[in-house]
A and B are shown apart, each in its own frame.
Chain A
Amino acid sequence: MPDYTTIIGLEVHVQLATHSKLFCGCSTRFGAEPNTQTCPVCLGLPGALPVMNAEAVRLAVMTGLALDCEIPAYTKWDRKQYFYPDLPKGYQISQYDLPLTQKGRLEIRDDKERFASKEVRITRAHLEEDAGKSSHDEAAGKGDSLIDLNRTGTPLLEIVSEPDLRNSLEARAYLDELKLLLTYLGVSDCNMQEGSLRVDANVNLHIETPAGKVATPIVEIKNLNSFRAVERALDYEAQRQFREWEETGKKLGEAPKTTRGWDDVAGKTKAQRSKEESADYRYFPDPDLAPVRTSPEQLAKARAELPPRPAELREQLTREHKLSPYDAGVLVNLGRPVLDYFFAVVAKCGDAKAACNWITQDIQRTLKYRDREFAELNLPAERLGELIALVAKGELPTARSREVFEAMIDSGDDAHSVMQQLGIGAVDESELIALCQELLAANPRVVDDVKNGKQQAIGALIGQAKKKNPNADPARIRELCLELIAKM
């Protein structure tokens, strides 16, 4: 069987987090009653005049900068002819030849090193308006589609990658990193269920044959309703295209670009209407909208206001805080509020590794167990920092620190008062030695067993020690008992 390489480019549409639509003052809120968020601009009524939302442009520029894009000084709006009832004007306002941002890049990597880190080139990220929603009520048995225009005119940023991805793993990593970046920038909530983030994939194969490399016709996959669906669809489509090439021998250029829809239940892509040629959209400059000019001063200001990107934060965590790349990745993936919490805990206790462990393990576990969100966590960062510091100073035995942690969350008290309530304190070394001597005297058989090489016999004493003094550290008890027996 010949070898082939899968060539993947992704188009991601994200809804920008503005309050009002791109060209009118209607609300962008999700979930409202159908057709309650429309106006003459949304409805495409004659004489309605669109006016740009400054915030949408600001968010788009911010995203472009974060993707290392060029921001051309001059950009304009174009009409894309589009005859569907979900955009009643008969065209979509988009950007054609002069997009707001272009030629960027995004680095992707894999914690488990299943692929080498690489840079994915971004072709462009341009602004456009969203269409409405059409639904077909099968149950009612009616032949009509129902149109809801609430979403019409919502600002979308279309982020187009170059065909630099080579398999579903890389595609997933790209989407994860892009979503993380957009979330950190606060430009979108990236909620796929509510349609704030949509993905289309362009795929074809480069097949090695004895006669040289052959490319298969490009297929665009739509209906990708989750990142998992993207992965599955890409794996399926690569195999399907290979089979099709074996059967038909069709190469790129011999068949038009086709569109296929992903059926998540069937686990297959299915042919859809053929995509109109780009020229058929008959783009032309929108005479209703003024072009946008961005000055170097505006760009410098936007650059200065750009929040740190996930990649920079991971770098900071490994360099300044000496966390492993894996830990840094886990922490950054938990989101900006958790990361800020981490920084506050470290500021209090100075121990980044311990702070990271508590936050990525204990806190996540207890939130899950309590079925709560991070924002509902009843444990200020300073208090967790204090808890970590008490353990480090030896004032709180490690063995009881989790118990204190849970009690702090339950009661809302600080570590000191919880320790007092639970009767927890550091155990003096001489106290521990006395305890061990007492136990050894009462258990001569254990002493004999250990002397005969059965060290695990000590285990019987640990339980007894904990009963007599709950603060006793089991590891230290074991060490002390072995030392004392050796001297006997």
Chain B
Amino acid sequence: MAVSRQDVEKAALLGRLLVSPDELEHLTAQVAEILAYVEQLGEVDTTSVEPMAHAVELVNVFREDKVAPSLPREAALANAPHHNEQGFLVPAVLGE
């Protein structure tokens, strides 16, 4: 699978990563190598294998619908760069 500079640029944008032009060059080559490596899996015949949707064997891990105590508000807000003791303050969220 061919990976273009634009593909990597877009992936970086979606991941909110700031990538310099030099890094972009470097990363495009690396991503292409990684994808080529993974692509080897395509050689395996999987026609009779059920698709796997999850890596673990566990299913149905539930909890009962019971309310447990929440954190005190001071604790919830403690790690926020900005807050007003009631809520988190963030740069304006543009109209949804």
Contacts and interface: CB of A to CB of B under 8 A. Distances in A.
Contacts of A27: 67, 70
A149 B96 CA distance: 17
- Determine chain A's interface SS by DSSP, over half rule: loop
Given A143-B92, A261-B95, A76 B60 contact: no
Interface stretch (A51-59, A309-317, A359-367, A403-411): A51-59
Contacts of A292: 59-60
A147 B89 CA distance: 6
Interface of B: 14, 16, 53-56, 58-71, 73, 76-77, 79, 82, 84, 86-96
Nearest to B61: A290
A19 interface: yes
Contact of A35 (B69, B77, B92, B95): B77
Given A76-B53, A282-B14, A285-B54, A54 B65 contact: yes
Contact of A145 (B61, B63, B64, B89): B89
Quick one: which of B16, B70, B92, B94 has the most chain A CB within 10 A? B70
A19 B93 contact: no
Contact of B60 (A55, A136, A222, A290): A290
Contacts, number: 132
Majority-rule SS of B interface residues: loop
A218 B66 CA distance: 42
A328 B62 CA distance: 40
Nearest to A294: B60
B70 A52 contact: no
A144 B91 contact: yes
A359 B48 CA distance: 62
B83 to A, nearest CB: 9
Interface string A274-292: 0000001010010101111
Contacts of A239: none
A115 interface: no
Given A145-B92, A222-B96, A25 B68 contact: yes
A345 to B, nearest CB: 35
How many residues of A sit at the interface, in one of the four size bands? 35 or more
Contact of A53 (B60, B63, B89): B63
A40 B71 contact: yes
Residue in A33, A37, A83, A144 with the greatest tally of chain B CB atoms within 10 Å = A144
Contacts of B53: 74, 76, 97-98, 285, 291
Given A134-B93, A136-B93, 15 more contacts: A18-B65, A25-B66, A25-B68, A26-B70, A34-B73, A43-B71, A51-B62, A52-B61, A53-B62, A56-B65, A83-B16, A144-B89, A145-B93, A148-B87, A291-B54
A326 interface: no
